[in-house]
Amino acid sequence: MINIILLGPPGAGKGTQADILVKKHGLVQLSTGQMLRDAIAAGSELGKRVKSIMDKGDLVPDEVVVGLISERIDKPDCKNGVIFDGFPRNVPQAAALDKMLEGKGLRLDKVVSIEVPDEELYKRVEKRVRETPPEKRRSDDTVETLKNRLDVYHAQTKALAPYYEAQGKIAHIDGLMTIEEVAAAIDQVLFPAGGGLLGWLGRLIEGRK
C-alpha cells in the first residue's frame, strides 16, 4: 500500500498524473474538487452550500473536505493505496489528515510537488478556455477565477511544502516537462529504481524515518 499526495497549483497537471498512476499502479484517486463537483451535480445540501464558494475559487470549509476524505478512505477499494489530489490545501487540513490517518492505522508515504510558474498556468487555462466548448467547461475555469485560485494557493497551499519538508516526505518535480517525463519522474520518486538490494535498502531507510 502506498498513500501519496499530489501537490501543486491549479493547472499543474495533478489530475493528468493521477489518472496515469491509477491506470499503472491500481491506486485510487481521491479528488476533493471532483467530490464537491459531484455533490453540486447531485443537487445535495452540501452541493448547494459549496457552489458559490467554488465558483469564486475560494476554499470550502476544512471540516467539509476532511469529512469527505475520511468517509471515502474507509471504502474497500482504497486498500491498495490512494492519491490525494487537491487535498490538503492548507496546514490545518494537513494536520487533520495526519491525525485521521493515524487514527485509521494508515500512513502518508510521499508528497509529490509538481511545480509550474504562474505565467505558464495562465497560458494553460487560456488555452483550455479557447479549446473547450462552454458546456464542457468547469464553471470555475476562467482566467478571472484562476487569479483567485492562484492567490489562495500562494497564501495557503504553498505552506504545505515546508510542512512536509519537515516530515522528510516531499519530492519536487518540474511540471514544465512533458506529461510522460513528469510521469516518469513521479514513478522514480514513488518506486525508486530497482526492486533489488538498493530498492530494498531505500525502502528500509524510508520506513525508519
Chain residues binding ligand ADP by CB under 6 A are: 10, 32-33, 36, 53-54, 57-60, 65, 86-89, 93, 140, 149
The length of the chain is: 209
**Phi, psi at 105, each rounded to 5°:** 75, 25
For residues 29 and 93, which CB has a smaller minimum distance to ligand ADP in the complex? 93
Least distance in angstroms from the C-beta of 36 to ligand ADP:
5
Residue 113 · residue 159 · CB < 8 Å: no
Grid cell in block for residue 66? 476532511
The dihedral sign for the CA sequence 87, 90, 94, 95:
negative
Least distance in angstroms from the C-beta of 90 to ligand ADP:
7
For residues 48 and 188, which CB has a smaller minimum distance to ligand ADP in the complex? 48
Question: Residue 40's closest CA among 75, 68, 5?
Answer: 68
Least distance in angstroms from the C-beta of 68 to ligand ADP:
9
For residues 19 and 58, which CB has a smaller minimum distance to ligand ADP in the complex? 58
What residue is closest to ligand ADP based on CB? 33
Least distance in angstroms from the C-beta of 65 to ligand ADP:
4
- Spatial distance between the Cα atoms of 156 and 148, rounded to a whole number of angstroms: 12
Least distance in angstroms from the C-beta of 131 to ligand ADP:
16
Least distance in angstroms from the C-beta of 181 to ligand ADP:
21
For residues 111 and 140, which CB has a smaller minimum distance to ligand ADP in the complex? 140
Residue-wise DSSP of 102-171: HHTT----EEEEEE--HHHHHHHHHHHHHHS-GGGS-TT-SHHHHHHHHHHHHHTGGGHHHHHHHTT-EE
Question: Residue 157's closest CA among 74, 57, 82?
Answer: 57
For residues 156 and 202, which CB has a smaller minimum distance to ligand ADP in the complex? 156
For residues 18 and 183, which CB has a smaller minimum distance to ligand ADP in the complex? 18
Direct distance between the N- and C-terminal alpha carbons of the chain, in angstroms, rounded to an integer: 17
